[in-house]
Amino acid sequence: MLSKLKRLRDFELSLQISNNQFIRPPREGQRNWLINKAIGEFVADLTELDKLAKRFVPGATNAVHITDRSQSVLDDEEIMEEWQIPLMQAMAAVVTEQAGDVLEVGFGRGISADYIQKGKVRSHTIVECNDAIVDSFHQWKKNYPDNVIHLLHGKWQDLTAQFAQYDGIFFHTYPLNEAEQLNYIGQSITFAEHFFSIAAEHLREGGVFTYLSNEIDSLSRAHQRLLLRHFSSLSLQKMPLDLPPDIKDSWWADSMMIVKAVK
């Protein structure tokens, strides 16, 4: 059994490896290097999280029980709170860089769709499952009578056979029920994780993918590894946020990372 102990002023880390073949490169020195590197990164991460936690807003205290929201009639704040608008603008700038064909998954309030239209894209395909929001989409579309805008009405999981090839894909949806909340938030690196392979499949070479990262000031190694299974490169932008103290969303940090993943 290999044991490692790291004592610091504010916390102590203890690691016990019971399987002698776990992390077993050719030489023992290589094994120690890998394990010490992982411990060092974890220490650095905890230290930064301590600093970040001091800047969190408290957020709303009421626990929300998620029922099936696929057809719920939601008000604007339930769909998307105002603090997300700078994120939508930055993500739209990423996805319209090539001014080509863009797929947007989740119409919401149409804010990101407006920013995508400002990017002078060749075509804009929007996926939306909620009937009430689809009604809003048809009203919104009247603002762009001469532009090529398509609607795919339904859950994206049921519509992938209708997806074409795109130069940019923008993914911004939310859990539709408790099962999605548990699987795609509670047990995933990021909510969009279950869409990564679909995005990669429907991007042209050099096409870009962006989504709400739920990463505060960097991207975790696990998140990077997952992205690089599907994309050739990625770049990051730190977006400062102005959050209300009683934010309803389960996000409390004053920044979020904008991700640009390239096919």
The pLDDT tens digits for 90-149 are 999 999 999 999 999 999 899 999 999 999 999 999 999 999 999 999 999 999 999 999
178 and 242 co-located in one domain: yes
- 215 & 177 share domain: yes
222 within some domain: yes
The SS3 call for residue 27 is coil
Structural domain span for residue 47: 2-53
- The pLDDT tens digits of the residues spanning 140-166 come to 999 999 999 999 999 999 999 999 999
Angle at 11 between CA 5 and CA 14, to 5 degrees: 25
Question: Is 152 in the same domain as 30?
Answer: no
**Residue 25 shares a structural domain with residue 153:** no
Question: What is the tally of structural domains in the chain?
Answer: 2
Q: What was the pLDDT predicted at 187?
A: 53
Start-to-end CA span in the chain (Å): 42
Residues 40 and 156 in one domain: no
Cα distance between residue 180 and residue 159, in whole Å: 18
Whether residues 80 and 48 share a domain: the answer is: no
What's the DSSP call for residue 17? E
Query: CB–CB of 254/55 below 8 Å?
Result: yes
Give mean pLDDT, residues 45-65: 85
**C-alpha R_g of the chain:** 21
Beta bridge partners of 153: 128
**231 Cβ partners below 8 Å, 6+ apart?**
200, 209, 261, 262, 263
Domain membership of residue 65 (yes or no) is no
* Confidence tier at 189 by pLDDT (50, 70, 90): confident
Q: Is 98 helix (H, G, I), strand (E, B) or coil?
A: coil
